[in-house]
């Protein structure tokens, strides 16, 4: 049976529930995923004076073929994007600046250092997002940046974040789609602090200075990202969820939720509906924590499906900015991008193929038996046939055929690095 024949049979199953699969495809095409560049080079970046990876982050594995130049990284991203249905975005960190061999410290970065990325994005029809890099630097060696007791160090990082917002604005103006510029910092303490408040006062003051200059959200959207703990900050992180949730609401900034930055039994999916009651928009970094914020490649697990369901059934596809954040050096890095991003899109398609309004009505009526029965039955509806046809229609490999293209790319390109 052909992909189209399987699709036509599956389509009829969903149509019985009033689900228009053709409309679902059109809706899904409009949802961009922000794909993180740092999966391709293990968060190394291209600084002239590179610092050791720090900030409670670790990348494990030594799979051959890591990108070591901007051209290699962009080539790898292009290959990954060719395997992923839809038009998407690429998310950059400040350490991916190109300075032509000149050492430029992070507080001195300018839009011109990202011109190659913008030209590449234009060529490929991509939007760009941005992140200041507040780790892997001598001025972050003790694990403190915007909350540092040393004013000079705080000012350095404040200036870096201001420069980053201007770079995000440049992206938005050049590409016609606003950049999401997201501030995450590693600040915290390994052991139980004797004063939790003072570092948070400093962080708030630093953020206030960073956001003093108003930038039109037509070009740049500001976000702040929390974390529960990291390596070296096991007992206390200055920028907690409660801190940033309050700051974002009070200062009209986006609160970004990273799925790996909470307790192992705490789910981000459960937070989305509550936060959308009080925020026009929110942002996600979708990862897969295994016992801790280990940033495993995203799989089509229960929590990913539940995140997608929360976004879709609450009509929030235009309110939730979806980005990815994982890094695995133990497998082919291009494959990691393809697996994780395809799974994110799969989860959204799955959510769109559920009779969400009917299930809501059953809950309101107190008909929990039928609600549970249908939720379970739809888990084995012929979703795969719909996904395969969507990939075929979007001109990307169907099922596991993409893996052969990755193997060929590894043989012809990655293995020769």
Catalytic annotation, pick one of 137, 139, 227, 346:
227
Residues in Cβ contact with 259 at an 8 Å cutoff, skipping those fewer than 6 apart: 268, 284, 285, 286, 287, 288, 289, 303, 307
pLDDT digits (tens, 9 = 90+) for 232-269: 888 999 999 999 999 999 999 999 999 999 998 999 99
Structure tokens at 152: 């000079």
Catalytic annotation, pick one of 129, 169, 222, 295:
295
Strand-pairing partners, residue 296, are: 288
Catalytic annotation, pick one of 225, 303, 310, 388:
225
- Alpha-carbon Rg for the chain, nearest whole angstrom, is 22
Closest of 375, 319, 325, 324 to residue 351, by C-alpha: 375
Catalytic annotation, pick one of 174, 325, 328, 388:
325
pLDDT recorded at residue 1:
84
Indicate the pairing of strand 34-36 with strand 127-131: unpaired
Structure tokens at 21: 């699969």
Contact by Cβ (8 Å): 286, 298: yes
For residue 88, indicate whether it is catalytic.
no
Residues in Cβ contact with 119 at an 8 Å cutoff, skipping those fewer than 6 apart: none
Catalytic annotation, pick one of 137, 139, 261, 271:
261
For residue 184, indicate whether it is catalytic.
yes
pLDDT digits (tens, 9 = 90+) for 180-211: 999 999 999 999 999 999 999 999 999 999 99
Catalytic annotation, pick one of 187, 293, 303, 310:
293
For residue 325, indicate whether it is catalytic.
yes
pLDDT recorded at residue 45:
87
Indicate the pairing of strand 188-189 with strand 236-237: antiparallel
Rounded to whole angstroms, what are the CA distances from 303 to 260, 270, 299, 313, 382?
Answer: 12, 10, 9, 15, 20
Q: Residues 402, 404, 410, 412: is their CA dihedral positive or negative?
A: negative
Contact by Cβ (8 Å): 171, 114: yes
Q: Is 175 helix (H, G, I), strand (E, B) or coil?
A: helix
314 phi/psi in degrees, rounded to 5:
-105, 15
Catalytic annotation, pick one of 285, 388, 402, 410:
285
Contact by Cβ (8 Å): 70, 99: no
For residue 47, indicate whether it is catalytic.
no
Residues in Cβ contact with 377 at an 8 Å cutoff, skipping those fewer than 6 apart: none
- CA-CA distance, 69 to 100, in Å (whole number)? 12
For residue 295, indicate whether it is catalytic.
yes
Low-confidence ranges of the chain (pLDDT < 70): 51-58, 61
- CA-CA distance, 246 to 255, in Å (whole number)? 9
For residue 285, indicate whether it is catalytic.
yes
pLDDT digits (tens, 9 = 90+) for 281-331: 999 999 999 988 888 999 999 999 999 999 999 999 999 999 999 999 999
Structure tokens at 77: 């991203």
Catalytic annotation, pick one of 120, 184, 337, 387:
184
pLDDT recorded at residue 130:
98
For residue 293, indicate whether it is catalytic.
yes
pTM above 0.75, yes or no: yes
Burial grade of 286 (CB within 10 A; 0-12, 13-18, 19 or more): buried
For residue 225, indicate whether it is catalytic.
yes
For residue 137, indicate whether it is catalytic.
no
């Amino acid at each position: 049976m052909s992909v189209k024949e399987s699709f036509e049979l599956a389509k009829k199953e969903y149509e019985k529930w009033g689900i228009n699969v053709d409309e679902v495809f059109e809706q899904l095409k409009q949802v961009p995923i922000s794909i993180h560049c740092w999966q391709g080079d293990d968060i190394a970046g291209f600084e002239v004076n590179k610092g050791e990876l720090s900030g409670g982050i670790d990348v494990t594995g030594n799979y051959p073929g890591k990108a070591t130049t901007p051209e290699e990284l962009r080539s790898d991203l292009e290959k990954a994007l060719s395997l992923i249905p839809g038009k998407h975005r690429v998310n950059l960190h400040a350490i991916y600046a190109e300075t032509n061999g000149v050492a430029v410290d992070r507080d001195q970065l300018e839009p011109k250092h990202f011109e190659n990325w913008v030209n590449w994005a234009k060529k490929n029809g991509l939007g760009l997002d941005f992140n200041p890099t507040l780790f892997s630097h001598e001025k972050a060696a003790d694990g403190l940046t915007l909350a540092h007791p040393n004013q000079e160090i705080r000012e350095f990082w404040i200036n870096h974040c201001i420069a980053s917002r201007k770079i995000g604005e440049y992206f938005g103006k050049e590409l016609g789609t606003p950049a999401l510029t997201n501030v995450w910092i590693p600040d915290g303490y390994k052991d139980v602090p004797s004063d939790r408040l003072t570092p948070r006062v400093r962080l708030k003051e630093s953020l206030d200075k960073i956001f003093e200059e108003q930038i039109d959200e037509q070009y740049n959207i500001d976000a702040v990202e929390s974390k529960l703990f990291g390596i070296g900050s096991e007992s206390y992180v200055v920028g907690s969820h409660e801190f940033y949730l309050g700051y974002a609401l009070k200062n009209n900034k986006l609160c970004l939720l990273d799925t790996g930055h909470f307790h192992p039994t705490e789910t981000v999916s459960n937070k989305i509906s509550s936060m959308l009651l009080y925020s026009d928009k929110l942002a996600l970094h979708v990862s897969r924590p295994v016992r801790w914020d280990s940033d495993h490649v995203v799989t089509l697990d229960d929590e990913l499906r539940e995140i997608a369901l929360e976004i879709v059934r609450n009509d929030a596809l235009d309110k939730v900015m979806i980005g990815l954040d994982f890094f695995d050096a133990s497998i082919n890095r291009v494959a990691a991008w393809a697996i994780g991003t395809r799974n994110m899109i799969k989860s959204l398609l799955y959510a769109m193929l559920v009779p969400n309004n009917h299930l809501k009505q059953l809950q309101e009526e107190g008909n929990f038996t039928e609600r549970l029965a249908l939720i379970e039955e739809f888990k084995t509806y012929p979703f795969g046939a719909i996904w395969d046809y969507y990939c075929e229609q979007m001109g990307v490999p169907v099922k596991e055929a993409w893996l052969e293209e990755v193997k060929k790319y590894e043989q012809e390109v990655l293995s020769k690095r």
